[in-house]
């Protein structure tokens, strides 16, 4: 591919970061198209991108197209009309199946940041990739098309951190704890940082985690630990099912435990538990006055638009991998992580860090796909590719990363800046 | 009226108690019709009434009719077909206007237990009776028809307690505090004791209360006090707007303060506040995926049916009036109250005490209307009638009442049974 044209599908928080970052590195691409449902939103984003990134006198940096991302024919039409070579799926996970099929039908490379989901089905069995993605792997390989799965931060960069650890730091890996803490404050009573319906369902579902070399299912929020992480300090984090476990369990064979931990504050848990106990987190529609509405969709309609949180968001996030294993016959524990700062990210691209930390890895990977560095010509999980070029390019694209050995006793030697 | 035929409209919790009590005192009526939307529900209630109250070999105690209580023509049809002389409105408050007009059109006496409400309008200004009820008063008088407004317990019996206090205990009344505590437990995570949409709105609305001889509006739950009441012990009660204030302020001129207080436990408040902060208590429809749904209707669809709580309900309620004034030149404080026991009421009529304490006063008043004791031949608030026959008849109909002088210092000399 020489300077491929990008088709970014989805104009939510992640879509906005992705298109800003694509515009920033536009010299590496043959064009940028942003496609979503809402024409007004598209126009507003296009104007914002132009004002922020265009040189004086430079023409339009991006094109926009209205698309119905759940309609196969419409997606094929947009791909055909734009002539895009890479489709970047940052739409809702309900669109994955259609977007994958449109890429197969049109010979288009693909990238997404989250597993495909069925809107009204809950608690699907592991492995989650066996429903939508893996059945299409041979088709992508047959057409020599790239499909990068789960290429945000988590999943995405954390998978690459694991690949980096395996390549450079360990002879064998015994456990991987992926930890995601958002220590930021949006100042609202309650809000989710990405689509509320997707987020509430993700948090409410039974936790599927990898332990003693097998899948284990436990109730949500039933296992937790207290951690102290760089820049964000001490937090209680709860075991949660998450996309990356669903590939790492297979790409890191022999690893005893692979667990994802998400930080939740007391207030979030109070509100979430009320919603959950009342059935308001469910994605199964209920009948109200003659119409069918899914509770999580109803709650979403009442909550703030996640992208509206950005202007007031303060504080930092920390996402990292706490990895244990053996190196040269010695036990070793390594932590690899990134921080983002909500206000800094807003200053740069007008988005909060949850969106920023997803969109920057997307464009980092797309830069590698565009210049041929990452070209597996098949569907791939991100830990299956060489981590080195990605980790070299991510800081330049917008996010630094760090690594340090940690005490084997499980303690956390970090202190929050300003803390004693 | 010689043994009038009753048309009971509404088959919710109160409707069920009302029809059971009507059946119990059926010798005083010329027939009993239960009308509601749901034919299956009607059939189930009719069977239950028959099994509980019919003598061996006795024919059907009640008739049932399907009705659309918001459709004037349909209500007129049902009145005409049944030949009822008294319509008892225990349907939702959204039906009041239609049911009042149907009574006027057909020359039928009327009774309800709550103010008429517009489903999607909030925080209407005082006096609340000036919208639906009072504009029809002259029409009822012109046709010599009775319309008993707000004839449940609160409003209803508490208004009669006030009339009793004025008639027998005070020369002048300076303050009335109506206090409603449900110390029962239904064992569910969260439930309302009557229609959730009506209840949530009632609790969420700004509080309109009568203070220093004028209406005062304050945020909900912003004023409270701690009380210790007979049988139920100590509770925190919160000032709330309530129907009875809207008539007592006019029928008890010169009374400085008339306030309604409702007990809320910490768990109820936690859940309510989450719902309220998220906008889930609102009755104003929002658009979700192309359809319009009012949040309080959506929450109602997820909560337990109030009548389903009855089998497991344990504990008691206490509703009373704490009245201050002058008698023979001396300050005086009087408390008049009733208790009900959820399990006892369930044993008797298959309903919990919130429904029971509303339905029993309905039939007490209907017995007085039926035998001509209460026959004002106009629309009336219950405190405008002679309280004596009602308070004599209510114990026989199912609920005792009590009165005692209380210390002028505001203290509560009651102890909960079993407490030290």
Residues B222 and B324 in one domain: yes
> Using CB atoms and an 8 Å cut-off, which of residues 154-213 of chain B contact chain A?
189-190
Average the pLDDT over B236-253 and give the result.
97
Residues B176 and B259 in one domain: yes
- Does residue B420 lie in a domain region? no
Report whether B22 contacts B6 (CB < 8 A): yes
Residue B266's CB is within 10 A of a number of other CB atoms, namely 8
The whole-angstrom separation of Cα B232 and Cα B419 is: 10
Beta-carbon separation of B293 and A297 below 8 A: no
Of A156, A129, A176, A177, the C-alpha closest to A382 is A156
Residues B164 and B312 in one domain: yes
Beta-carbon separation of B280 and A279 below 8 A: no
Interface ipTM:
0.82
* Domain span including residue A108: 5-153+354-395
The whole-angstrom separation of Cα B287 and Cα B348 is: 44
- Does residue B418 lie in a domain region? no
Residues B174 and B40 in one domain: no
Residues A14 and A101 in one domain: yes
- Does residue A417 lie in a domain region? no
Of A195, A192, A207, the C-alpha closest to A123 is A207
- Does residue B183 lie in a domain region? yes
Interface contact A51, partner B, CB < 8 A: no
- Does residue B411 lie in a domain region? no
State the pLDDT at residue A420: 41
Provide the 3-class DSSP secondary structure of residue B339: strand
Q: How many domains does chain A have?
A: 2
Residues B66 and B213 in one domain: no
Minimal Cα–Cα distance from A91 to chain B, Å? 16
| A8 token code pair | 């970014």
Residues B223 and B279 in one domain: yes
Interface contact B284, partner A, CB < 8 A: no
Residues A197 and A75 in one domain: no
Residues B176 and B143 in one domain: no
Statement: residue B416 has pLDDT above 70: no
- Does residue A381 lie in a domain region? yes
Beta-carbon separation of B293 and A295 below 8 A: no
Q: Among A271, A293, A300, select the one facing B298 at the smallest CB separation.
A: A293
Residues B303 and B383 in one domain: no
- Does residue A415 lie in a domain region? no
Report whether A90 contacts A8 (CB < 8 A): yes
> Using CB atoms and an 8 Å cut-off, which of residues 103-132 of chain A contact chain B?
none
List the single range of A29-43, A92-106, B186-200, B215-229 with lowest mean pLDDT: B186-200
β-sheet bridge partners, residue B5: B31
Statement: residue A322 has pLDDT above 60: yes
Residues B30 and B166 in one domain: no
Render pLDDT for A112-169 as a digit per residue (tens, 0 to 9). 999 998 888 888 899 999 999 999 999 999 999 999 999 999 999 999 999 999 999 9
At B202, is the pLDDT very low, low, confident or very high (cuts 50, 70, 90)?
A: confident
| B409 token code pair | 């210092």
Question: In terms of CA atoms, which chain A residue is nearest residue B291?
Answer: A291
Specify the CATH number for the domain of residue B191. 3.30.360.10
- Does residue A363 lie in a domain region? yes
State the pLDDT at residue A418: 54
Buried/exposed B163-191: b ≥16 CB within 10 Å, e otherwise: bbbbeebbeebbbbbbbbbbbbebeeebb
Render pLDDT for B301-335 as a digit per residue (tens, 0 to 9). 999 998 889 999 999 999 999 999 999 999 999 99
% chain A with pLDDT above 90: 91
Q: Among A280, A289, A291, select the one facing B302 at the smallest CB separation.
A: A280
Specify the CATH number for the domain of residue A385. 3.40.50.720
Beta-carbon separation of B301 and A278 below 8 A: no
Residues A364 and A338 in one domain: no
Torsion angle of C-alpha atoms B389, B339, B90, B207, degrees rounded to 10: 110
Listed in sequence order, the DSSP H helices in B252-287 are 266-277
State the pLDDT at residue B420: 41
CA A110, A114, A117: angle at the middle one, nearest 5? 105
The whole-angstrom separation of Cα B152 and Cα B79 is: 23
What values do phi and psi take at A313, rounded to 5?
A: -70, 130
């Amino acid at each position: 591919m020489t300077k491929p044209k990008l088709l970014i599908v989805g104009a939510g928080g992640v879509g906005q970061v992705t298109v800003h970052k694509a515009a920033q590195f536009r010299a590496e691409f043959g064009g940028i198209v942003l496609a979503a449902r809402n024409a007004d939103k598209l126009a507003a984003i296009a104007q914002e991108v132009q004002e922020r990134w265009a040189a004086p006198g430079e023409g339009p940096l991006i094109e926009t197209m209205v698309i119905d991302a759940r309609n196969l024919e419409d997606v094929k039409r947009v791909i055909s009309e734009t002539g895009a070579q890479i489709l970047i799926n940052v739409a809702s996970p309900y669109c994955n199946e259609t977007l994958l099929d449109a890429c197969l039908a049109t010979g288009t490379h693909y990238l997404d940041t989250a597993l495909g989901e069925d809107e009204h089905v809950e608690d699907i069995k592991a492995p989650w990739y066996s429903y939508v993605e893996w059945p299409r792997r041979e088709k992508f390989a047959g057409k020599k098309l790239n499909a990068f799965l789960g290429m945000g931060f988590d999943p995405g960069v954390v998978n690459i951190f694991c690949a980096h650890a395996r390549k450079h730091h360990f002879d064998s890996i015994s456990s991987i704890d992926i930890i995601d803490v958002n220590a930021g404050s949006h100042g609202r009573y309650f809000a989710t940082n990405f689509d509320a319906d997707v987020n509430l369902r993700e948090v409410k579902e039974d936790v599927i985690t990898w332990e003693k070399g097998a899948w284990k299912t436990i109730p949500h929020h039933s296992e937790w630990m207290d951690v102290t992480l760089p820049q964000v300090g001490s937090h209680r984090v709860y075991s949660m099912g998450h996309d990356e476990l669903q590939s790492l369990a297979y790409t890191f064979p022999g690893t005893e435990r692979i667990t994802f931990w998400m930080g939740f504050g007391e207030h979030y848990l109070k509100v979430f538990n009320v919603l959950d106990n009342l059935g308001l987190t469910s994605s199964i529609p209920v009948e109200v006055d003659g119409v069918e509405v899914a509770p999580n969709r109803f709650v979403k309609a009442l909550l703030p638009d996640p992208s509206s949180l950005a202007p007031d968001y303060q504080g930092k996030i920390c996402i990292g991998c706490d990895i244990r294993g053996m190196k040269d016959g010695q036990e070793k524990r390594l932590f690899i992580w990134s921080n983002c700062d909500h206000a800094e990210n807003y200053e740069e691209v007008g988005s909060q860090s949850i969106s920023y930390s997803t969109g920057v890895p997307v464009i980092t990977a797309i830069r590698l796909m565009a210049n041929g560095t990452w070209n597996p010509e098949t569907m791939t999980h991100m830990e299956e590719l060489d981590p080195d070029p990605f980790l070299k390019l991510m800081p330049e694209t917008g996010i630094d990363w760090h690594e340090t050995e940690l005490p084997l006793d499980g303690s956390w030697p970090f202190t929050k800046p300003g803390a004693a």
